[in-house]
Amino acid sequence: MKRTSLLLGVVCIFLVTACTNQDDTLEYDKEMKRHSLISSAYEEKDVPTKKQITLAAVGDMLIHDRVYRDAQTEDGYDFKPMLKEVKPYLDHPTVTFANQETMIGGDGLPVASYPSFNSPVEVGDALKHMGVDVVSIANNHTLDHGEVAIQHATRHWNEIDMMYVGAHKDKKDRNELRIYNTEEGISVAFLAYTYGTNGIPVPDGKDYLVNLINRKQMKQDIAEATERADVVVLSLHFGKEYKRMPSKEQKSLAQFAADQGVDVILGHHPHVLQPVDWVEGAEGNKTFVAYSLGNFLSGQYDHYRRIGGVLQLTIVKDEQDQGVVEVTSPKFLPTYVKDDQENDYRVLPMFSLSNDILPDAKEHYEKIKNHIAQWTPELEFIEEK
């Protein structure tokens, strides 16, 4: 009703104007034209309904004595120079994940190396500075120094405003699902579990201290995450150390997670790179799986254990299509940990390595590319500074 009377009014004004003054009529016509141009432009123009973000992930931060000794300063530690060359690849993506394999036990606990690691809190500060947003702390070293190290570590992560997942200070902390909300309006839930804790039992009644791989619990957690967030990222500390191919158990867990609707799996523990793949879930959904992201920064010597990398995925959300989210365009930057007789540790992009740092650098780089992309020929390699 309201619309009809408004239209009548417009027609009346038009008639009156048309009869009284020709110039005014011309003006009016121009005005009408302008309006219709604007409205058709508005209709024809694709109103953007798709939003996108990038998710990045790196593997193990495994801080041996030789690494923290190299980072020592007059009044503490500084790990930032070690990661300087890879900062842009961690900083630019919307959300960046890392596997912090060693607890940052902090003050009151001595720093320690293999087999019971305890790392300086400055490792956490360096990750924060590099642009890391989320760390998994569920791994076989979570309980190396017991509950006290977990309490110290979680306190420090909270102090520097870093989202941590997989190990918790109390029950309430355990029950709080980690959801990273991006400015683009895409929410990413993170879950993390480990196969075990090197034989150290989880203290009685304190299951919240570390998430163990348990399909029943995972199913429940994944259901909550798929309900509450656009994207579900599952961090799994699994597989066999130093094996360059995933085990049956890794494949079985990846299939299980895909069937539950997980979008991305970030695997770690073998300390070497394993190929990436797409796994189809029960509902025809596709899950991107990085079976093992390798060591990102460690003091391990073996050639393959010096190699890790930065995984990048694009996540697209279509607001019109019921908020459907798609994981696309996997990219990878292979990295290499170099040292000079346990000094001057650096994480370097492999594409930039010279033969002085790694003899036959190009050949090694090509081999690594073929290895990681053997099931996913569409995997792109990041080769820009």
Measured in degrees and rounded to the nearest 5, phi and psi for residue 3 equal: -65, -40
CB atoms within 10 A of CB 323: 13
Residue whose C-beta lies closest to Zn ion: 269
Residue of 164, 166, 174 whose CA lies nearest to 140:
166
Smallest distance from the beta carbon of 270 to Zn ion, in angstroms?
8
Smallest distance from the beta carbon of 241 to Zn ion, in angstroms?
7
Nearer to Zn ion, 60 or 277 (CB): 60
Nearer to Zn ion, 67 or 379 (CB): 67
Stretch that binds Zn ion, among 85-93, 115-123, 242-250, 269-277 (CB under 5 A): 269-277
Please report whether residue 269 would count as binding Zn ion according to CB under 5 A: yes
Stretch that binds Zn ion, among 140-148, 154-162, 302-310, 313-321 (CB under 5 A): 140-148
Smallest distance from the beta carbon of 257 to Zn ion, in angstroms?
19
Smallest distance from the beta carbon of 140 to Zn ion, in angstroms?
4
CA-based torsion, 240, 242, 248, 250: positive or negative: positive
Nearer to Zn ion, 241 or 363 (CB): 241
Smallest distance from the beta carbon of 291 to Zn ion, in angstroms?
14
How does DSSP assign 57-122, residue by residue? EEEEEE--HHHHHHHEETTEE--HHHHGGGHHHHHSSSEEEEEE-S----TTS--B-TTS-B--TH
Smallest distance from the beta carbon of 302 to Zn ion, in angstroms?
15
Stretch that binds Zn ion, among 133-141, 166-174, 328-336, 377-385 (CB under 5 A): 133-141
**Helices marked H in 131-247 — which ranges?**
146-159, 171-175, 215-228
165 close to 191: Cβ distance less than 8 angstroms: yes
Distance CA 195, CA 202 (A): 13
Window 309 to 338, contacts with Zn ion (CB under 5 A): none
Tokens describing residue 274 = 């394993």
Nearer to Zn ion, 267 or 330 (CB): 267
Overall residue count recorded for the chain in this entry: 385
Smallest distance from the beta carbon of 324 to Zn ion, in angstroms?
35
Nearer to Zn ion, 100 or 139 (CB): 139
Smallest distance from the beta carbon of 268 to Zn ion, in angstroms?
7
Smallest distance from the beta carbon of 269 to Zn ion, in angstroms?
4
Please report whether residue 140 would count as binding Zn ion according to CB under 5 A: yes
Smallest distance from the beta carbon of 228 to Zn ion, in angstroms?
29
Please report whether residue 182 would count as binding Zn ion according to CB under 5 A: no
Nearer to Zn ion, 93 or 166 (CB): 166
Nearer to Zn ion, 167 or 186 (CB): 167
CA-based torsion, 95, 334, 238, 338: positive or negative: negative
Nearer to Zn ion, 199 or 284 (CB): 199
From candidates 139, 197, 235, 274, binder to Zn ion by CB under 5 A: 139
Q: Which long-range contacts (CB under 8 A, 24 or more apart) does 150-153 make?
A: 150/103, 150/209, 150/210, 152/103, 152/104, 152/105, 152/106, 152/107, 152/108, 152/109, 153/103, 153/104, 153/105, 153/106, 153/124
262 close to 223: Cβ distance less than 8 angstroms: no
Nearer to Zn ion, 61 or 225 (CB): 61
Distance CA 117, CA 77 (A): 16
Nearer to Zn ion, 94 or 292 (CB): 292
Name, in order, each residue with C-beta under 8 angstroms of 190's C-beta and a sequence gap of 6 or more.
Answer: 97, 134, 136, 163, 165, 178, 179, 180, 233, 235
Please report whether residue 235 would count as binding Zn ion according to CB under 5 A: no
Tokens describing residue 55 = 């998710």
Tokens describing residue 259 = 């069937």
Please report whether residue 102 would count as binding Zn ion according to CB under 5 A: no
Please report whether residue 197 would count as binding Zn ion according to CB under 5 A: no
Please tell me the count of residues contacting Zn ion according to CB under 5 A.
3
| Residues lying near Zn ion in the complex (CB under 5 A) | 139-140, 269
